[in-house]
Amino acid sequence: MNIKQTVIDNQLQELFKKGSFGIEKEGLRTTGQGNLALSLHPSSFGSRKHHPYIQTDFSESQLELVTPPQNTLKEQYKWLEALHDVVNRTIDPEEFVWPFSMPSRLPDEKDIPIIKVDDRKEIEYREQLAEKYGKKKQMISGVHYNFSFSYDFIDELASIAETPEKLTSWSNDLYLKMSRNYLRYQWLLTYLFGASPVSDDTFSSEDSRQYYRSIRNSPLGYHNSFSNKVSYQGIEEYARDIEHLVEEGTLIEEREYYGSARLRGKGKAVRNLISNGTRYVEFRSFDLNPFSRLGFSYEQSLFTHLFLMTMVWMDKESTTEDIRTGAEMNEHTALEDPFEFSRFKEEGQFLLNMMKETLNALHLSSEYDAVLETAHMLLDNPEQTLSARIVKELENGRSFIDYGIKLGQQYKEVSFEKPFLVKGFTEMEMSTQLLLFDALKLGIETELLDSHDQFLKLTYGDKTEYVRNGNMTSKDTYISHWIMANKTVTKKILKTYGYRVPHGEEFASIEDAMNAYSLFDRKAIVVKPKSTNYGLGISIFKHPASYEAYSEAVRLAFEEDGQILVEDYIEGTEYRFVVIDDNVEAVLLRQPANVVGDGRQTIEQLIKKKNTHPYRGIKHRAPLEKIKMGELERLMLKEQGYTFDSIPAEGERVLLRENSNISTGGDSIDMTDDMDESYKKLAVEMAKALEVKVTGLDLIIPDITRPSTEDKPGYVVIEANFNPAMHMHAFVQKGKGRNLTRKVIDMLFPSIDLS
């Protein structure tokens, strides 16, 4: 088949330019001193047996991050970002991930730890590799770029091909052509992206002061040179040649075939490609880019995608001879001095022009244009290439190890700047980010079914669970949501079971509510809409409301809902109890926005200082909100005889708001361990009465030190909230943070294997 012609004839350009993208990125855990970490792979990553995202490669210290295939490069990078946050926040605080392909300071060959797993065969295989190549060479890390065209494109090909056999043959043709031309032209990627000019002395005893473009891509690096023994001219030849290398003992197993382009299909055996076709190709020649926090920049990924499309779009069909030439050119490029022009500059320009043609033919976005421009510039300016830039840094007298420590630690710190967010997924709600974090860490296969809707699909072993908004799951019933959404129904049920709820009346019209004023004119009351979940439209009267004030409160509440409640106001402190799977997992006290004086600073200064806390942000992008200095705060101060310029006495607490919402600058104080057990027991029982597994119960308790008893109940329950916020318990102003998302995972997957 002629793929280009097929695409044009069938107007498939839009589908052709889509793809499915995955990245595998290796990196060595390294101590603060730059030594290879000899510690075990962290057990908090769960079992390596299933972990789809965080693996170890040859060595116990060699992390391998694997992004699941994504439909866009943007998505691919979201995953890579997130996995870095997970790894950085989970590994030993004394360690970081080495940013170079060439290893950090290695111990003696014998002390380099091979992967520690239960599987004897797996260990034997690594031991054989160690013997064959030497352990040190196995420690060289890199990036694998997994690419396929989109499912939609393949679907269209299927409908054109008509028979499954033809589709299989077409997909093999397509990816073989891509691979052949890649092998012919990969030297350009090595020129542009080569980033292993140098190694530490512990890696190699030769103390040559020679610099290279890419040790890793050169014979000095770790690669087997069996590529030339494998034909890419047809799928049967490809499979037969790899099988032959295993039979004759050149390769231990098929997977030892480390050609720069590896065709992957269904199942592990290479033979399956013949019957089922190629699903994607793994391109393996990329060095870690130390200037990118993620080891491979988004721009590199864009360039590679365009490069791969061009390898298919071009008319050229590389022969076996061409491929051999390509291997030589790549090796030559790898060994070039970083500051030299490429020996193949002219072909490079020709290639870039061909990429430009692809770009134009497919109407690719301007992002692709930009990376092409950069590549042109780099061909003309070798001193700007990655390898040259590294060398320049080292020529300033800094050692390779010191430079790696600096970069690696700096990259790690980025993951701690906002520990309540997961980079890549910061557009999602915080609770969903935290759940995602835990899922990725534990190796639960995670699919973002709909990130706008906070919709995750979690799979562990055979079991799949769907989660929305962090804790809406299959463990709760459909009706439980609506029970909690309706405050009247919640109260009726709790009351039926004998729990104390505030006495109240429901009204469906302003008129009815106003006619009932005489029921409330001598009481402290709360007027609130029946079904909103966010504290809107609520008025509290701690002293009986005048007719006018009541009328205004009724009007406000009806703005939020078609029905309102007028309830007795209950004196006491409100606590949020979060019940998950029949346990109280957190108790939180929320306090109105406030500052505490020190006798020196003004209120404004105190607010500004308090607002520097890393947990404080704006517009719900942080667990706590910054205290505002607006009209409401000014009035609140005025009532207390203050202005923003007043200087409160040492230890004096000045309130800036009356309401205790976190969203208006309030404080969160974890009280889980301080709460009397009797109240926790009640909260669990109430959740059971409502038949819910996840709920946020708001209890008014005048004195938490006095246990609640049947005769003298010490509480009134005012609300049961569905989908309670979880992040506010994880990152608190005061007290111990509570990881509630992990409890949700434990509820969904009780048999999860942390061994």
Question: Which residue, 337 or 560, is less far from its own copies as judged by CB?
Answer: 560
Q: Which residue has the tokens 């409100």?
A: 574
Candidate list 334, 428, 467, 732; residue touching its own copies; CB under 8 A:
467
| Close Cβ partners of 570 (under 8 Å, ≥ 6 residues apart) | 502, 700, 716, 718
Please report how close the Cβ of residue 358 comes to its own copies at its closest, in angstroms. Answer: 17
* DSSP SS3 for 540: strand
598 binds its own copies per the rule CB under 8 A: no
Please report how close the Cβ of residue 2 comes to its own copies at its closest, in angstroms. Answer: 22
The interface with its own copies within residues 472-501 (CB under 8 A) comprises 472-483, 486, 488-489, 492-493
Please report how close the Cβ of residue 489 comes to its own copies at its closest, in angstroms. Answer: 5
Helix 366-380 and helix 298-313: axis angle, to 10°? 90
CB 219 within 8 A of CB 331: yes
Candidate list 468, 555, 613, 628; residue touching its own copies; CB under 8 A:
468
Phi then psi for residue 93, to 5 deg, are -55, -20
CB 533 within 8 A of CB 472: no
Map residues 442-461 to x or -, x wherever contact with its own copies holds by CB under 8 A. -------xx-xx-x------
- What 8-state DSSP symbol labels residue 707? P
Identify any residues that bridge with 446 across adjacent strands, giving them in sequence order.
Answer: 458
240 binds its own copies per the rule CB under 8 A: no
User: Which of the stretches 104-112, 317-325, 517-525, 674-682 binds its own copies when contact is defined by CB under 8 A?
Assistant: 517-525
518 binds its own copies per the rule CB under 8 A: yes
User: Which of the stretches 28-36, 379-387, 404-412, 470-478 binds its own copies when contact is defined by CB under 8 A?
Assistant: 470-478
Please report how close the Cβ of residue 507 comes to its own copies at its closest, in angstroms. Answer: 11
| Close Cβ partners of 559 (under 8 Å, ≥ 6 residues apart) | 529, 537
Please report how close the Cβ of residue 541 comes to its own copies at its closest, in angstroms. Answer: 18
346 binds its own copies per the rule CB under 8 A: no
Question: Which residue, 99 or 529, is less far from its own copies as judged by CB?
Answer: 529
CB 308 within 8 A of CB 362: no
Map residues 651-690 to x or -, x wherever contact with its own copies holds by CB under 8 A. ----------------------------------------
Q: What is the largest CA-CA distance in the chain?
A: 98
Q: Residue 699: count other Cβ atoms within 10 Å of its Cβ.
A: 27
9 binds its own copies per the rule CB under 8 A: no
8 binds its own copies per the rule CB under 8 A: no
What is the rounded (10 degree) CA torsion for 220, 226, 231, 232? -50
Candidate list 122, 152, 241, 574; residue touching its own copies; CB under 8 A:
152
* DSSP SS3 for 587: strand
Structure token digits, residue 530: 């029946």
Please report how close the Cβ of residue 234 comes to its own copies at its closest, in angstroms. Answer: 31
* DSSP SS3 for 108: coil
Which is nearest to 362 in space by CA: 413, 437, 278, 305?
A: 305
User: Which of the stretches 160-168, 516-524, 564-572, 677-685 binds its own copies when contact is defined by CB under 8 A?
Assistant: 516-524
509 binds its own copies per the rule CB under 8 A: no
Question: Which residue, 393 or 512, is less far from its own copies as judged by CB?
Answer: 512
158 binds its own copies per the rule CB under 8 A: no
* DSSP SS3 for 581: coil
Identify any residues that bridge with 565 across adjacent strands, giving them in sequence order.
Answer: 506, 528
User: Interface with its own copies by CB under 8 A: which residues?
Assistant: 11, 14, 152, 155, 449-450, 452-453, 455, 465-468, 472-483, 486, 488-489, 492-493, 503, 508, 516, 518-519, 522, 531, 562-563, 691
